[in-house]
Amino acid sequence: MNWKNQKRFAMTGGGHEGFLGAVYEAKKPADVAALYDKWAATYEAEMAQAGYRHPSICLALLARHLPRGDAPILDAGAGTGLIGEWLRIAGYPEVEALDISEGMLAVARLKQCYTGFHCMALGGALPFADGAYAGIVSAGVFTSGHVGPEGLDELVRICRRGGVIVLTVKGTLWDGGFSARVDAFAKAGRVMLAEVTEPYVSMPGEVATTPSRAVVLKVV
């Protein structure tokens, strides 16, 4: 496929550029889910071609801050199961997957690396008990067209004391209320900001992308 055809393919909704643009612009959770359902079969290959970094950065940070074997872990925004597969290799045997797209979760199921599956959206109430998880990881979810700062509230609630939450945050969202929400939780004595990375480009294969940060919160 030559450059002109690649560009046309992306503009008409095919390829990672077309899907990314569509999900970033989506207004309703149902629209986001439908788009990811369509993308599920080719998602991993296309994101790998773009040099997608969020999952590997989240894995490294979780391994740094959460003792090996701590359980259970929630992969919030699991997609096709990239992080779940790596977490098992890294020594975290009990990981549950949560994602808005049943199509993405269907691919994740094939990897046989998750102990549970939850098809639902972040941003509202979650059907889990307080302190249910030893760790939570969320890669690429706090971004345009997905979940805003309000999605952090439930993650803090369902992570146990001493547990960690590792997530990536797009720069515009970080400056648009997410940083302030983290500060509010810290001042209330609910979390400690354990680590924040320097801004980085999540997909260096793209022509232009807004930088993101990875954040580690320890629940206290």
Q: Which two tokens stand for residue 63?
A: 């391994």
* Domain ranges within the chain, ordered by starting residue: 3-49, 54-219
Helical residues (DSSP H) of the chain, grouped into ranges: 3-11, 15-25, 29-39, 43-49, 54-65, 82-90, 102-109, 152-158, 171-173, 179-187
Residue type, 38: K
Question: pLDDT 10s digit of each residue in the chain, 220 long?
Answer: 233 333 333 333 444 555 555 655 655 777 778 887 887 888 888 888 888 899 999 999 999 999 999 999 999 999 999 999 999 999 999 999 999 999 999 999 999 999 999 999 999 999 999 999 999 999 999 986 678 999 999 999 999 999 999 999 999 999 999 999 999 999 999 999 999 999 999 988 765 578 999 999 999 9
Asked whether the beta carbons of 199 and 213 are under 8 A apart, the reply is: yes
Nearest to 213 by CA among 77, 54, 83: 54
Residues 97 and 88 sit within 8 Å (Cβ to Cβ)? no
> Encoding tokens for residue 214?
């990875």
Distance CA 137, CA 125 (A): 17
- Please name the CATH architecture into which domain 54-219 falls: 3-Layer(aba) Sandwich (3.40)
For the stretch 190-216, pLDDT in tens is 999 999 999 999 988 765 578 999 999
Write out pLDDT tens, residues 86-96: 999 999 999 99
Q: Is 200 helix (H, G, I), strand (E, B) or coil?
A: strand
Range 194-197 contact pairs with CB under 8 angstroms and sequence separation of 24 or more: 194/65, 194/164, 194/218, 195/61, 195/64, 195/65, 197/57, 197/61
The reported pTM is 0.85
Q: 82-90 and 54-65 are packed helices; what angle lies between their axes, rounded to 10 degrees? A: 30
